Amino acid sequence: MPGLIDLVRPKVHAFDASGRTLERRTYRIDCELRYEVAAPTEFIFLVHAQDTSEQLVTQECLSFRPALEHRVFEDHARGHRFTRLSVERGEFTLSYRALVRRTPPPALKRGRETPIAELPDALLPLLLPTRYCESDKLASAAQKLFGGHAPGHARVQAIADWIHDSIEYAPGSTDTTTTAGDVFVRRAGVCRDFAHLGIAMCRALNIPARLVVGHAPFEAPPPDFHAIFEAWLGGRWVAFDPTRMSPVEDLVRIATGRDAKDVAFATFYGPAKLLSMEPRIERVDARAAAAHRDGAPLTAIPSATASGA
């Protein structure tokens, strides 16, 4: 039976609809967050790209304007890296830049649901309702909509397809208090709402599911990070994006959690306001990445203009 770290850290199997094997890709992250602080405030940021066997951070740099003393620490069980700092009154900008090489695993076309009796202990909490994913309240709807589908990958894909077809992607339609149940009723939301609803539906059908946040390339980039969900199928994590805004294999992962409260990019204690955010991502070719390691500027692939969503 896999250990806790094997289950919680992001060892995810991603694939495209045609079942193609996915090639190694390199991305440049350029993220800026600007805040105004009215009085001394404590900040905890979660912006570092995860560094794993399938997502290698080859270079990165974290800086602040003006220069601020800060400390980076890691949650070793989950691979999350946090930045802590104290900020006095005024404005400041966080800048995180990184070069990340992703190597998705071989493509998968199907995966069975695991009976609860066979689930590893560490996955049991991912069957439970949480603040944003009220799987208990949505259990009846989940059974009515998806109970008749054959168990396994096809059923989770049906959940993702239903969310895409039934929920309007509408920036500004939800806020930080919006839950999966709210989205199911209102039929509108953004990427994290789509993911929360997918998680809640999966858990209502006894399928462990979790939230993933990170950077993803888009043709028309909204100024935000992106969120998808993963379901435990065939003894591994499989990624789904109900928004269909970006291939899941292109997501540069920052964090995973039970829902959004586990993966907030910023938590602060004091009077602070986000003035602007620009989480940009560009796919780069191998030669450009090698040149960057030698000090030369990166050259983006023209078709991969992007930002998080």
Instruction: For 136-179, write each residue's pLDDT tens digit.
Output: 999 999 999 999 999 999 999 999 999 999 999 999 999 999 99
- Domain residue limits, the chain: 4-22+108-262, 25-104+265-304
* φ, ψ (nearest 5 deg) of residue 84: -110, 140
Extract the tokens encoding 147: 């109970």
Distance CA 82, CA 197 (A): 27
Provide the pLDDT for residue 14: 45
Which residues of the chain fall short of a pLDDT of 70?
1-22, 105-108, 221-223, 286-309
Give the CATH number of domain 4-22+108-262: 3.10.620.30
Give which of 190, 186, 200 is closest to 138, Cα–Cα.
200
Provide the pLDDT for residue 224: 82
Instruction: Please give the angle made by the CA atoms of 76, 106 and 218, to the nearest 5 degrees.
Output: 75
Provide the pLDDT for residue 6: 41
25-104+265-304 to CATH, choices 2.60.40.1840, 3.90.1640.30, 2.60.40.2250, 3.50.50.60 = 2.60.40.2250
For residue 289, which amino acid is it?
Answer: A
Give the residues across from 26 on adjacent strands. 101, 284
Record the pTM. Answer: 0.86
Provide the pLDDT for residue 180: 98
Provide the pLDDT for residue 307: 35
